[in-house]
Amino acid sequence: MSTTKHFTLDELIAMPSRYKANFINSVTGYKSCNLLATKSDTGATNLAIFNSIVHIGSNPPMLGFILRPTTVARDTYANFKENGTFTVNQVHEDMIADAHHTAASYPEGISEFDKTNFEEEYLDGFPAPYVRSSEIKIGCRYMNEYLIKENNTILIIGAITDIYIPEAIQHQDGWIQLDIANTVSTIGLDGYALPKLLNRFAYPKPDEDTTSLLNTKR
């Protein structure tokens, strides 16, 4: 192991902007990798990569994600504020190049679906498009938003209304084994990794040994 480096707050603040963004975004660990798809009331679609999507609750099912300041045009934000829906589409190994490209700054009215190999897919009457090639698709309804005053970002809360998954990746207890679907994670803003399942454990109880669940049936 190499020598440990120590960075103080003053040193972090003094870092060049892009260097600092790369450093802080990657040092906190692996993040989820998803494509958010929306559609405006006029029919214009938008597709954008997000690494900030997190679990909010299971009952009722909710998720959340962070939006950067809306001082510049944010088509994703404008679209789901118009019609109240968006989809979350997990990125797998074969999708990473096109998924990364959705971060490019196209003018308003230009759909990332038209600039990548991704295809829109509409399921069961849901207004927002899904990404056809995504293995795990989640339909969401916009619920609320909260301003994070410390850096002027917005936490968006979405209610999960629909989920589509391959049957083969779900265990009998409901758990989803993402590595079977080749779901990727992100490292910082531009790195993509393929996680490998190491183990899965039973719910911990005081004074009892940790028990592996890897041999449980799917």
- Both structure tokens of 205: 């109880």
Nearest 10 degrees: Cα torsion 102, 176, 128, 184? 0
Which of 108-117, 180-189, 208-217 is the least confident region?
208-217
What is the average pLDDT across 126-144? 97
Return the CATH architecture of domain 30-193.
Answer: Roll (2.30)
* CA 126/CA 139 separation, integer angstroms: 8
Give 14's pLDDT tier (boundaries 50, 70, 90).
very high
CB-based contact 140:86 (threshold 8 Å): yes
Give which of 187, 200, 196, 210 is closest to 51, Cα–Cα: 187
The pTM is what? 0.92
pLDDT band at residue 214, thresholds of 50, 70 and 90?
A: confident
Q: Where are the domains of the chain?
A: 30-193
